[in-house]
Amino acid sequence: MILEELAFVLRAVKYGERDLIVDLFVEGHGKISAIAKSAKTSKKRFPGGLEPFSKMKIKVKIKPNRSLSFLEETDIRNGNVEIRSSFDKITVASYATELVSVFVQPDEPSDEIFSTFDVFLKRVAKSSDAMLPKLLLNFETEVAKCTGFSPSLNACFKCGESVDGFLKYRVSRGGEGLICRDCTEGEHYGIVEKSTMTVFWQLYQDALAEYFHVAQARRIIWASLGPVVDRELKTRAQVEALWV
Ligand SMILES: [Zn+2]
């Protein structure tokens, strides 16, 4: 069976002198691992190479009962080349790639994550470095939504009381989201500034955020996503080191 779909390269590992084994994030299919024969020499079949962050049309041959497929050709649709001109952009895009690869499985189409990732890379390519923390917060929030691990940020996650009446914002350390004072017994939580939550709710209206707001908000999202990821992402540590 031959598939022709849009895809991103999540990972590429050298195999012998000329070949590469690639993990692909394929629209409509999820993760597909494939061998790209002569990938390091064939400019004709793989024009532009098999770089991460590039959206490409791929032609992949899938053999039944074989775990490895054959990547025959690629055609770059959006190279997002501007990412490669900035160290910060490369760091942030590498982290997004590693995060996405945790959630993408074989034979599990993840098209919501696919389009979130696609939009994110496009924005990273076109924006200034100063916008990266906010783009990243947006991306992590979207990934949390797509994967069903969003924290409750409009109401107490236990009793459902609306946050409108809250004087202080308490966020559970377990990642479930906001918690009201009456429900805190036996719960571990942290206090978040009102201004952080205000910024959080405005994010989708493109409010400009101070970096410390973004950092706090990213920690709230990570409290939910992190336990699911369940392993240390080395690219995440590199991202955190960018903005200290
Ligand atoms: Zn409550």
Find the 50 Cα to ligand 1 centroid distance in Å.
50
Find the 197 Cα to ligand 1 centroid distance in Å.
17
Find the 199 Cα to ligand 1 centroid distance in Å.
22
Find the 211 Cα to ligand 1 centroid distance in Å.
29
Find the 201 Cα to ligand 1 centroid distance in Å.
20
Per-residue pLDDT band for 138 (boundaries 50, 70, 90) equals confident
- Has residue 205 got a pLDDT over 60? no
Q: Where are the domains of the chain?
A: 2-79, 82-242
- Three-point CA angle 26, 64, 71, nearest 5°: 40
Find the 188 Cα to ligand 1 centroid distance in Å.
14
- Has residue 207 got a pLDDT over 50? no
pTM for the model: 0.84
Find the 229 Cα to ligand 1 centroid distance in Å.
27
Mean pLDDT of all residues in 4-16:
96
Assign domain 82-242 to its CATH superfamily. Recombination protein O, C-terminal domain (1.20.1440.120)
Q: Is CATH 3.40.50.970 correct for 2-79? A: no
Find the 191 Cα to ligand 1 centroid distance in Å.
15
Q: What is the distance between the alpha carbons of residues 88 and 90, in angstroms, rounded to a whole number? A: 5
Per-residue pLDDT band for 209 (boundaries 50, 70, 90) equals low
Per-residue pLDDT band for 56 (boundaries 50, 70, 90) equals very high
Reduced 3-state DSSP string for 179-195: ECHHHCCCCCEEEECHH
Find the 18 Cα to ligand 1 centroid distance in Å.
60
Buried b (16+ CB within 10 A) or exposed e, 72-84: bbbebeebbeebb
Q: What is the distance between the alpha carbons of residues 138 and 199, in angstroms, rounded to a whole number? A: 12
- Has residue 204 got a pLDDT over 60? no
**Residue 39 DSSP code:** T
